[in-house]
């Protein structure tokens, strides 16, 4: 039995799988099986009020899961699917309330990872209506760092949970941070689309295709994955340091802690104290994002007193990474 067949066997038996996507690894179950989706929430420790995203094999299935779909959804899907874009739409009656956290909207995306596609296609074919989808948040404990390879998953969950899950290894996630989420649910009522979570696909990319309303993310009334103020958290306290005071603050903080890990890009800090370890990140936001979660997990495993992260450029291509780092730091401020 190959891995796709085994994953399918688990899904059809109301069990949970971990599968790779181009963004991060997902913890998935049959979206129409309330018992199976409840297991996803339980394993992750996720509040039932916090929705999960539906993963489809193709755009043709969208109308089964969503209702009142505006033309803008198909315009975006035509350009960005399969890929790291989640569309928030009015849910159809086929979507159980447990998937949406009781809301009347649902987040839907079509991942591009070839292994995810194989699983989703095989699962859809197994359904009488041929419209199967997986309800899947990231495959980590709620509020913690998302996994970008299978070893992160094995390190994340205890042995009892791992006995219940089938983990499909698909290598390292190429993008490395969660999908962009855009709300299209109010377009039919005259509202503009808006980005609820920044990601690899930027507001600028989307605004070339459809009209967008730019607004403060904290003002969103719709709850979506990653919308809490504190999220993506490390175990080690993390602080994002303004670039202007970066080197000065390193010396000051080094005197207050036993061991300090410093994540930086660009010029290497000079004259650092002996209890500071430096971790270099790329100045290219695409590469930085790809390696961010793996680097944070690596640093977390070394039991530092604190993590300092050099603040990022205030440019659109860095917005999603800044969002993740600020939320990771929020729980320690």
Arithmetic mean of pLDDT, 27-49: 98
CB of 209 within 8 A of CB of 79? yes
Arithmetic mean of pLDDT, 219-241: 77
179 is known to lie in a ligand binding site: yes
Banded pLDDT at 219 (limits 50, 70, 90):
low
251 is known to lie in a ligand binding site: no
CATH topology for 3-219?
DHBP synthase (3.90.870)
146 is known to lie in a ligand binding site: yes
43-91 residue pLDDT tens: 999 999 999 999 999 999 999 999 999 999 999 999 999 999 999 999 9
Mean pLDDT, all residues of the chain: 94
Report the SS3 class of residue 73. helix
50 is known to lie in a ligand binding site: no
Banded pLDDT at 253 (limits 50, 70, 90):
confident
Pairing of strands 66-67, 85-91: antiparallel
175-200 residue pLDDT tens: 999 999 999 999 999 999 999 999 99
What does the pLDDT read at residue 275? 93
What does the pLDDT read at residue 185? 98
55 is known to lie in a ligand binding site: yes
Q: Is residue 264 predicted with pLDDT exceeding 60?
A: yes
38 is known to lie in a ligand binding site: no
Cβ within 8 Å of residue 251, ≥6 positions away: 271, 272, 273
197 is known to lie in a ligand binding site: yes
Report the SS3 class of residue 82. coil
Q: How far is CA 163 from CA 202, 252, 328, in A?
A: 38, 46, 29
46 is known to lie in a ligand binding site: yes
Rounded Cα distance, 253 and 147, in Å: 29
Q: Is residue 269 predicted with pLDDT exceeding 90?
A: no
> Quick one: what percent of the chain has pLDDT higher than 90?
84
Q: What is the CATH number of domain 238-330?
A: 3.40.50.11030
As a three-state string, the secondary structure of 290-320 is HHHHHHHHHHHCCCCCEEEEECCCCCHHHHH
What does the pLDDT read at residue 134? 99
Rounded Cα distance, 261 and 276, in Å: 6
Domain boundaries along the sequence of the chain? 3-219, 238-330
What does the pLDDT read at residue 256? 84
232 is known to lie in a ligand binding site: yes
105 is known to lie in a ligand binding site: yes
155-176 residue pLDDT tens: 999 999 999 999 999 999 999 9
Q: Is residue 227 predicted with pLDDT exceeding 70?
A: no
């Amino acid at each position: 039995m190959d891995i796709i067949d085994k994953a399918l066997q688990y899904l059809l038996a109301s069990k949970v799988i971990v599968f790779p996507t181009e963004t991060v690894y997902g913890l998935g179950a049959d979206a129409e099986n309330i018992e199976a989706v409840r297991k996803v929430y339980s394993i992750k420790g996720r509040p039932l009020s916090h929705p999960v995203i539906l993963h489809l094999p193709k755009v043709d299935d969208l109308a089964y899961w969503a209702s009142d779909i505006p033309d803008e959804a198909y315009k975006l899907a035509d350009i960005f699917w399969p890929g790291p874009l989640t569309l928030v739409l009015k849910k159809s009656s086929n979507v159980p309330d447990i998937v949406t956290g009781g809301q009347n909207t649902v987040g839907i995306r079509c991942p591009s990872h070839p292994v995810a596609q194989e699983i989703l296609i095989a699962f859809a074919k197994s359904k009488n209506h041929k419209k199967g989808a997986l309800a899947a948040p990231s495959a980590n404990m709620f509020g913690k760092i998302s996994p970008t390879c299978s070893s992160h998953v094995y390190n994340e969950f205890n042995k009892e949970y791992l006995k219940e899950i089938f983990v499909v290894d698909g290598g390292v996630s190429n993008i490395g941070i969660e999908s962009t989420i855009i709300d299209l649910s109010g377009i039919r009522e005259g509202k503009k689309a808006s980005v609820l979570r920044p990601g690899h696909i930027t507001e600028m990319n989307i605004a070339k295709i459809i009209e967008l309303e730019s607004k403060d993310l904290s003002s969103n009334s719709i709850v979506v994955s990653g919308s809490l103020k504190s999220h993506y958290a490390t175990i080690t306290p993390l602080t994002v340091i303004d670039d202007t005071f970066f080197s000065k603050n390193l010396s000051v903080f080094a005197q207050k802690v036993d061991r300090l890990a410093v994540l930086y890009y660009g010029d290497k800090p000079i004259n650092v104290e002996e209890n500071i370890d430096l971790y270099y990140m790329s100045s290219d936001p695409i590469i930085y994002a790809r390696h961010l979660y793996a680097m944070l997990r690596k640093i977390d495993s070394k039991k530092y007193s604190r993590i300092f992260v050099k603040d990022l450029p205030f440019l659109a291509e860095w917005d999603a990474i800044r969002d993740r780092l600020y939320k990771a730091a929020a729980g320690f401020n």
